[in-house]
């Protein structure tokens, strides 16, 4: 019931779909998370392995920022179908990507 | 039950619709939510589509068949510019959403136009880059690497282009119908789509470009 009431106040509701503050925080975070890998790659700051891990982690964090601050995945009402569908999709996606890489590792062109 | 309906009316606050029964409005609301969920399912299938393209690219990243490699031809400055353009457009589409929740139709349309213009400049930079690559002798048929490259980056660009057409249509519809539950849901959906494309681009940027020049 409380859930329902919270959602009915269409006119001037503040919460639920983010505020200017959360969008600005998300934007700043996404800029920072783009600059870090850029600087690391362009200045050759770390070894290749470390850089690879670093920029992949930054990309995943960037994904999280977009989901939390822009796509409002946290605001979803209780049966969280959107979130569950997303997790399901990610599992399939990771299986395809990791599986392909694994299968093809020893088939790659030697360098 | 009577209690439930009472609260419902109270929450809505307009008695003119009271006799009309709160349930109709509620069903309508549910249906819009259903459609948003449907769009999430589409996004999930798109995640899988891009997943297969990324897998293909990663597997074929070394198969350049003696031709040009990505590291030789990629020009990072243009890519950096388009990355920040797309990040900004993700933010402006969020502001459009805030304006909509405030009931400001003009603000909503203005920010949607800004978002679309940023998207258009992204596409312009991408097309320029593709033309440059083709002039340098890297076409989609040059090697497995470039096939995977153009398919992955091109599919993302195609998504952005579709988003632009869709956004333009939505702007026209908004200017005619204003902010209704239906147009509201449509703006919500397109902003989800836009953020999603931003996420995909971040991975293209990381895996294709940054790792390509490393």
What domain range includes position B121?
Answer: 38-60+67-213
Residue pLDDT, tens place only, A32-46: 999 999 999 999 889
- Looking at the complex, report in whole angstroms how far the Cα of residue A44 sits from the nearest Cα belonging to chain B: 8
Residue pLDDT, tens place only, B108-134: 999 999 999 999 999 999 999 999 999
Q: Residue B202: which of A63, A81, A100 has the nearest Cβ?
A: A63
**CB of B143 closer than 8 Å to CB of B65:** yes
Measured in whole angstroms, the distance separating CA B166 from the mean position of its chain's CA atoms is 10
**Cβ-based neighbour number of residue B24 at 10 Å:** 10
From the number of C-beta atoms within 10 Å of its C-beta (0-12, 13-18, 19+), residue A57 rates as: middle
**Cβ-based neighbour number of residue B110 at 10 Å:** 16
Please state the domain count of chain B.
Answer: 1
Residue B166 lies in a domain: yes
Quick check: A79 contacting B, CB < 8 Å?
no
Cα-based distances in Å from B162 to A8, B96, B155, B202 = 33, 19, 11, 19
Q: Which two tokens stand for residue B119?
A: 């998207």
Q: Which two tokens stand for residue A44?
A: 């050759």
**CB of B92 closer than 8 Å to CB of A24:** no
Residue B159 lies in a domain: yes
Domain containing residue B187: CATH number? 1.20.120.80
ipTM > 0.85, yes or no: no
Residue B27 lies in a domain: no
Instruction: Give residue B29's pLDDT.
Output: 73
Nearest residue to B118 (alpha-carbon basis) of B81, B155, B150: B81
Instruction: Give residue A110's pLDDT.
Output: 57
Nearest residue to A66 (alpha-carbon basis) of B196, B204, B92, B189: B196
- Average pLDDT, rounded, for chain B: 88
A-contacting residues of B 36-65, CB under 8 Å? 36-37, 40-41, 43-45, 47-48, 50-52, 54-56, 58-59, 62-63
Return phi, psi of residue B75, to 5°. -110, 105
Residue B13 lies in a domain: no
SS3 of B75, please? coil
Question: pTM of the prediction?
Answer: 0.84
**CB of B163 closer than 8 Å to CB of B119:** yes
Check residue A70 and report its DSSP letter.
Answer: I
């Amino acid at each position: 019931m409380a859930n329902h009431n919270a959602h009915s106040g269409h006119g001037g509701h503040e919460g639920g779909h983010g505020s200017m503050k959360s969008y600005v925080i998300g934007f700043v975070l996404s800029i920072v998370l783009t600059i870090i890998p850029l600087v690391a790659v362009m200045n050759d700051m770390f070894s290749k392995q470390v850089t690879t891990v670093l920029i992949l982690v930054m990309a995943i964090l960037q994904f999280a920022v977009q989901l939390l601050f822009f796509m409002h995945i946290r605001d979803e009402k209780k049966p969280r179908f959107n979130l569950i569908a997303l997790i399901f999709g990610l599992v399939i996606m990771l299986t395809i990507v990791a599986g392909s890489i694994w299968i093809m590792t020893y088939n790659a062109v030697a360098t | 039950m009577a209690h439930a309906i009472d609260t419902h009316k109270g929450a809505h606050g307009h008695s003119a619709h009271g006799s009309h029964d709160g349930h109709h409005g509620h069903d309508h609301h549910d249906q819009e939510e259903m459609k948003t969920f449907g769009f999430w399912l589409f996004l999930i299938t798109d995640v899988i589509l891009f997943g297969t393209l990324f897998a293909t690219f990663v597997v074929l990243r070394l198969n350049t068949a003696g031709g040009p490699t990505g590291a030789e031809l990629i020009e990072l400055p243009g890519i950096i510019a388009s990355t920040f353009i797309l990040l900004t457009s993700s933010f402006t589409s969020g502001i459009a959403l805030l304006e909509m929740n405030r009931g400001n139709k003009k603000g909503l349309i203005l920010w949607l136009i800004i978002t679309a213009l940023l998207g258009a400049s992204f596409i312009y930079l991408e097309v320029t880059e593709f033309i440059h690559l083709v002039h340098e002798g890297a076409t989609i048929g040059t090697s497995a690497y470039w096939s995977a490259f153009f398919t992955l980056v091109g599919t993302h660009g195609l998504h952005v282009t579709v988003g632009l057409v869709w956004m333009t249509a939505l702007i026209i519809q908004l200017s005619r119908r204003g902010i209704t539950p239906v147009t509201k849901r449509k703006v919500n959906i397109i902003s989800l789509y836009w953020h999603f494309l931003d996420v995909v681009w971040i991975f293209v940027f990381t895996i294709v470009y940054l790792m390509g020049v490393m």
